Amino acid sequence: MTAPTAPTPSAESTAPTTVPGAPELHPSKGLLHDLWVVARRGLIHMKRQPEQLSDATIQPVMFVVMFAYVFGGAIDVPGGGNYREFLMGGIMAQTLVFTAFGVALSIANDRKNQAVDRFRSLPIARGAVLGGHAVANVIKAILPITIMSITGYVIGWRIRGDLVHTLGAYALMLAFAFGMIWVGVLLGSLVSTPEGVNGIAFVALFPLTFVASTFVPVSSMPGPLKVVAQWNPVTTLADGLRELFGNPNTPVQPGDPWSIAHPVAYTWLWVVGLVVVCAPLAVRAYQRSIAS
């Protein structure tokens, strides 16, 4: 008498079960590939929804024209310089601060429409989502910088510095935009709705751009406000751009703080600080938000 043997499973029974019509998931191709895929998705969204670019296109032109022609005749630049040339550094600084809006809204929208859940179900490299948002918004930041430069030339702004300092000015703008983007990533990871992002960002960032030398010299401000403006990175970014472009700037006075005497170096310190501090905090906040 022989013991019964178990039937050998057929090839069909050992094949992995798949859901008909379900897409085949491939392993991640690496961080850089996945990062660019997410960045390209953000750029395609901007192309299909051009109204999202109003802060990068219409707003800078509106501020340049409004302040140059409406308020320009009433504001004196120390040393008798051209106010339109003084203005451009401030407008550029203000616009770069607002880059935090775009990335914060993008992340908040992804959380609201559950795109984040779809990302989690895909074999995507860790960090690609936030990195992709950051890259897309750095590319987006080139648009307002270009538009402001063209608009500035139309109204009479001129670059009077040499090529090296001019390239340094544009590098500083892109670096500061990158730092502000991580502020936006952090905000979008902490606030779950686009409406909340709009409210908080407007209250936090808008006053910051006015308590600075964006539109008027710091010397015209009262005592306590003047101290805040002197250490405000928006002030030093605006002053640093004026210095690098060779435009009219408020002369450094005896007793001025180090930030005013060295605006370019002080602004670069802020760029490094924003990335070093906000990037890790943003990653942690984002991981907590998608885990809850």
Which pLDDT tens digit goes with each residue over 53-68? Answer: 666 678 888 888 888 8
Contact 197, 108 (CB under 8 A): yes
pTM metric for this prediction? 0.82
Which residue blocks in 159-262 are alpha helix, DSSP H? 163-190, 194-210, 223-231, 233-245, 258-261
The C-alpha atoms of residue 14 and residue 12 are separated, in whole angstroms, by: 6
Centre a 10 Å sphere on the Cβ of residue 166 and count the other Cβ atoms it contains: 15
Contact 91, 63 (CB under 8 A): yes
Which two structure tokens, joined as six digits, stand for 3? 């013991």
Q: In sequence order, what DSSP letters do the residues of 223-247 get, joined into one string?
A: HHHHHHHHH-HHHHHHHHHHHHHT-
Give every CB contact of residue 39 below 8 A, 6+ residues apart in sequence.
131, 132, 133, 135, 136, 139
Q: Which amino acid appears at position 252 of this protein? A: V
The C-alpha atoms of residue 82 and residue 128 are separated, in whole angstroms, by: 45
- Tokens 């910088």 sit at which residue? 145
Q: Which amino acid appears at position 16 of this protein? A: P
Q: Model confidence at 79, in pLDDT bands (50, 70, 90)?
A: low
| Percentage of residues of the chain with pLDDT beyond 70 | 79
* pLDDT at res. 57: 72
Q: Residues 76-96: what's their mean pLDDT?
A: 85
23 pLDDT more than 80: no
192 pLDDT more than 80: no
The terminus-to-terminus CA distance of the chain in angstroms comes to: 61
Domain ranges across the chain: 30-291
Sign of the dihedral defined by the CA atoms of residues 222, 225, 230, 233, in that order: negative
Q: Residues 40-60: what's their mean pLDDT?
A: 71
Centre a 10 Å sphere on the Cβ of residue 163 and count the other Cβ atoms it contains: 8
Q: Cα dist. 285→104, 109, 193 in Å? A: 13, 16, 15
Half-sphere exposure of 80 (CA within 13 A, CB side): 0
- By the 10 Å C-beta count (0-12 exposed, 13-18 middle, 19+ buried), 210 is classed as middle
* pLDDT at res. 14: 41
Q: Cα dist. 156→28, 153, 247 in Å? A: 51, 5, 12
The C-alpha atoms of residue 96 and residue 99 are separated, in whole angstroms, by: 5
The C-alpha atoms of residue 135 and residue 137 are separated, in whole angstroms, by: 5
Q: Model confidence at 10, in pLDDT bands (50, 70, 90)?
A: very low
Most confident segment among 2-16, 88-102, 229-243: 229-243
* pLDDT at res. 53: 64
Contact 99, 59 (CB under 8 A): no
Contact 205, 122 (CB under 8 A): no
Q: Residues 74-87: what's their mean pLDDT?
A: 79
Mean pLDDT check: name the lowest of 31-35, 98-102, 159-163. Answer: 31-35
